[in-house]
């Protein structure tokens, strides 16, 4: 669920930047900006995966709740929990960590690069 949400945020951001650049500059510039965002996302994810695999195992954090717990009924409706036969387990994998870290890094980069489209200042 976390991974799907981050991909959705990136898709919305790509569409927003494409529309704003097309409106202010040209369609070719909008396509170049769209390709830049896609390349930075894919290359950044690959580099972060490489470096974080040096320090972490595939599952960073795992938590298990058995079916006798009073919260067991609540966790049936949460998408991040994996259903087991006798309870639920939360697995925070390396891909989730990499995508969250990449999104945080990209927020700072794009906030400076697209100042004129996001914040109203001078960008690029």
Span 62-73, pLDDT tens digits: 666 666 666 655
When pLDDT is averaged across residues 51-63 and rounded to a whole number, the result is 75
The rounded mean pLDDT for the chain is 79
Residue 61 has pLDDT above 90, yes or no: no
Q: Whole-model pTM?
A: 0.72
Cα-based distances in Å from 71 to 16, 52, 81, 87, 98: 40, 32, 12, 10, 29
In a domain, 25, yes or no: yes
Q: Let me know if residue 123 belongs to a domain.
A: no
Residue 101 CB neighbour total at 10 angstroms: 15
Is 50 part of any domain?
yes
pLDDT digits (tens, 9 = 90+) for 40-54: 999 999 999 998 888
In a domain, 40, yes or no: yes
C-beta separation of 98 from 45 below 8 A: yes
Give the count of domains, the chain: 1
Q: Is residue 96 part of a domain?
A: yes
| Residue 54, Cβ density class (10 Å: 0-12 exposed, 13-18 middle, ≥19 buried) | exposed
Domain that holds residue 45: 2-118
Share of the chain above pLDDT 70, in %: 69
CA distances in angstroms from 50 to 7, 22, 53, 81, 82, listed in the order given: 20, 35, 6, 26, 26
Q: pLDDT value at position 96?
A: 85
Specify if 41 maps to a domain. Answer: yes
> Does residue 54 belong to any structural domain of this protein?
yes
User: What is the per-residue pLDDT across 6-43, written as a single tens digit (0 to 9) for each?
Assistant: 999 999 999 999 999 999 899 999 999 999 999 999 99
Residue 78 lies in a domain: yes
Count of beta carbons in the 10 Å neighbourhood of residue 26: 11
User: Does residue 120 or residue 11 have the better pLDDT?
Assistant: 11
Q: Decide if 17 contacts 34 (C-beta within 8 A).
A: yes
* Residue, of 79 and 64, whose pLDDT is higher: 64
């Amino acid at each position: 669920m976390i991974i799907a949400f981050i991909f959705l945020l990136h898709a919305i951001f790509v569409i927003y930047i494409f529309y704003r650049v097309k409106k202010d500059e040209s369609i070719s510039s909008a396509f170049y900006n769209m390709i830049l965002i896609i390349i930075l996302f894919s290359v950044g994810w690959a580099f972060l995966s490489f470096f974080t695999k040096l320090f972490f195992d595939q599952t960073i954090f795992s938590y298990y709740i058995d079916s006798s717990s009073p919260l067991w009924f609540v966790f049936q409706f949460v998408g991040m929990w994996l259903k087991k036969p006798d309870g639920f387990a939360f697995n925070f994998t390396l891909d989730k960590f990499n995508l969250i870290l990449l999104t945080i890094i990209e927020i700072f980069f794009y906030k400076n690069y697209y100042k004129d489209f996001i914040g109203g200042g001078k960008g690029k």
